[in-house]
Chain A
Amino acid sequence: MRNLIAFLWKNYFFFLFVILEVAALFLIVNNNYYQQRVFINSTSDFTGNLIEKYNNFTSYFALKNANKILVEENTRFYNMSPKSFIKTDTSTFFVNDSLYTQQYKYRSAKVISNSINRRNNYLKLNKGSLQGIKPDMAVVATGGIVGQVIEVSDHFSSVMSILNSNARVSAKLRKSNQVGSLFWDGQDYKMGKLVDIPSHVRINIGDTVVTSGYSYTYPEGRIVGVVEGFNIEEGESFFEVDVRFSVDFNNLSYVYVIQNLFKGELIQLEQSDYTE
């Protein structure tokens, strides 16, 4: 026993190294499992507050561009509002139309931290569970989709951006309605890859890629990007399509968090399919 202690003591530098590495690896592995939703401390209010203070300072530099985007968006909404249409038929009247029920609820949020230079990128938003944000909600910007909420604390939330090896989005070509799977290969933050498009489909460069709405997370028809190129491996029956994201991930300041109000119902229905 004494020899053992003497041996451990003599080589404590090595054993301490091993212990610390094991602790670090434990943290890494536990955090890489997105499904386990392990408590990540960086969503906690302390670091969130610090990052927000820093962001309050730096966000002044992005104001000009953020304003421009907001004005453009306002213009679009004004164009859609009933006031911008002339009433041509005065005999119509309104009824409470039960055909339409709200399915998606939007909440605006500010990006307080963001990265594009890692293999797994995350954003942090200044709204959390107290403002109604829940895990799995979709996050979109004015130009297109951004990612998915993975954790929330009281006042902040963490978003897994599409620029992440764990992110997969069900997307389709708007023209042909062919559905595939979109992911990021870790190289250029402006480009994503769309796979599983069968080889008989006609693809043109410049075709729009939109969300399919199959995942219950993103509403259908949200713009993802445009086709920039495509190729097919010898002997394969599926295309690999290069998609240029319509959102500039390096320049995000305000985003919308989308809640699917029917999600619970849809999941319940899906589960009852399997239990039979």
Chain B
Amino acid sequence: MAGKHIIQFFILLILQVFVFSNINVYGYVYPAFYVYFILLLPFETAGWLLLLSSFALGLGVDFFTNSLGINAAASVFTAFLRPGLFRLLKSKKEYVPGITPGVGDLGFRWFFLYASILIVLHHSALFFLEAFSFKDILQTLHRIIASSAATLILVLILQLLFLKQNKR
């Protein structure tokens, strides 16, 4: 089970660096797709592991994209908010160990809400840290909305693909 997430960590890092960081639509879209890893860690993941693995993933992306620290800070921020969001979002199912916060275990509506909130928060942290000021706030908001939408669509597609595979 842990092995699956370690493999996912490296696949997402490589995909982010070589594919998603190079996506260019209108010059505004920068999908931080690697956040999929933080979203999909199992419920019982220990707090320190959640924070440290998110930090490592963000730092890995930073090394390749000349933005040292920015992705790492945003990832740790997202990971920190994750447990609180679980408490906030009610579900018909109990969060028992062994289930992952995905579409398969908790349903599409729950996952859609959960993923969109965390993705928007992640991109907000990312782009405000990159701009490092509130001066061009409209431009930053434009970036956040466009990139979050792109990431959310990609995450949902991947989730639905895996769901179909599991049902077979």
CB pair B80–A17 under 8 Å, yes or no, is: yes
CB pair B76–A117 under 8 Å, yes or no, is: no
A73 within 8 A of B: no
In the complex, what residue of chain B is closest to A54 when comparing beta carbons? B18
B166 within 8 A of A: no
Q: How far is the CA of A108 from the CA of B51 in the complex (A)?
A: 44
Q: Please report which residues of chain B, range 62-89, place their CB below 8 angstroms from some CB of chain A when the two chains form the complex.
A: 62-70, 72-73, 76-77, 79-80, 83
Q: A12-B47, A13-B51, A186-B139 are in contact. Are A24 and B63 (CB under 8 A)?
A: no
Number of A-B contacts (CB under 8 A): 98
B12 within 8 A of A: no
The interface size of chain A toward B, counting residues with CB under 8 Å, comes to: 39
CB pair A115–B77 under 8 Å, yes or no, is: no
Name B's interface SS: helix
B48 within 8 A of A: yes
CB pair A25–B73 under 8 Å, yes or no, is: yes
Q: Please report which residues of chain A, range 49-92, place their CB below 8 angstroms from some CB of chain B when the two chains form the complex.
A: 50-51, 54
B21 within 8 A of A: yes
B134 within 8 A of A: no
CB pair B51–A16 under 8 Å, yes or no, is: yes
Q: How far is the CA of A13 from the CA of B64 in the complex (A)?
A: 28
Digit string of A173-198 for contact with B (CB within 8 Å is 1, else 0)? Answer: 00000000000011111000000000
CB pair B130–A118 under 8 Å, yes or no, is: yes
A218 within 8 A of B: no
Give 19 new A-B contacts, CB below 8 A, not counting A17-B80, A20-B52, A118-B67.
A12-B48, A13-B48, A16-B51, A17-B51, A20-B76, A23-B55, A24-B58, A26-B69, A27-B69, A28-B73, A31-B68, A42-B63, A115-B21, A116-B24, A116-B27, A117-B29, A117-B30, A118-B130, A120-B130
Q: Chain A: residues with CB nearer than 8 A to chain B?
A: 12-14, 16-17, 20-21, 23-32, 40-42, 47, 50-51, 54, 115-120, 122, 124, 158, 185-189, 250
